[in-house]
Amino acid sequence: MRLAPFAATALLLLVAPSVAGAARTERIPLDIEFSQTVTHLCAFPVTIDSTVTGTQTNFFNNSGVQTRSEFSVTETDVFSANGNVLTGLPYHTTLRAILDPSDPNIQLKSFAMGLVSRGPLPDGKTFLSAGRLEFIARGNQFALTPDTGHSGDVAAFCAALAG
């Protein structure tokens, strides 16, 4: 049910600066699984198991310094808490990290555009968030809702996991 914030943060942390001779791009296939427990989504801890596939494209300036990375990914998230599980539907999103050319380890901007989370709720409705999500402004934390766009019903999401 959602790559956007945390998975995106994990992907953005994979960005590794590289030096080359001329302006170029580099494409890397992604196939990542990871798990995390967060405490900021609901009033209780939520474990998120994510699967991410897609590509990472790194861009370099004429001096060979990496200046940005773009990710085109499909993510599926499984949320669990209090013995309850919500299995998200696969969704596509695009992420971008703009790097400081004087120190490519520093992200100047990082954001996602597209779906942020998608999945069925027990009442038959679908949780759906889409729009633009700013990671640095969010402290690079996993989020269910975008900064601009459409937010899903977080109260219904948390109620489903509360039991």
What pTM, to 2 d.p., does this model score?
0.81
> Which residues pair with residue 128 across a beta bridge?
118
Residue 34 tokens, joined: 């990871």
Q: What is the mean pLDDT of the chain?
A: 87
Res 23: pLDDT? 76
Say what the pLDDT of residue 4 is.
Answer: 44
Determine the Cα–Cα distance for residues 17 and 63; give it in Å rounded to an integer.
12
Q: For the chain, list residues with pLDDT below 70.
A: 1-22
Q: What is the pLDDT of residue 18?
A: 43
Q: Which of 77, 79, 96, 94 is nearest to 136 (CA)?
A: 96
Question: Which phi-psi region, left, alpha or beta, contains residue 103 (left: φ > 0; alpha: ψ -120 to 50)?
Answer: beta
Residue 104: what residue type? P
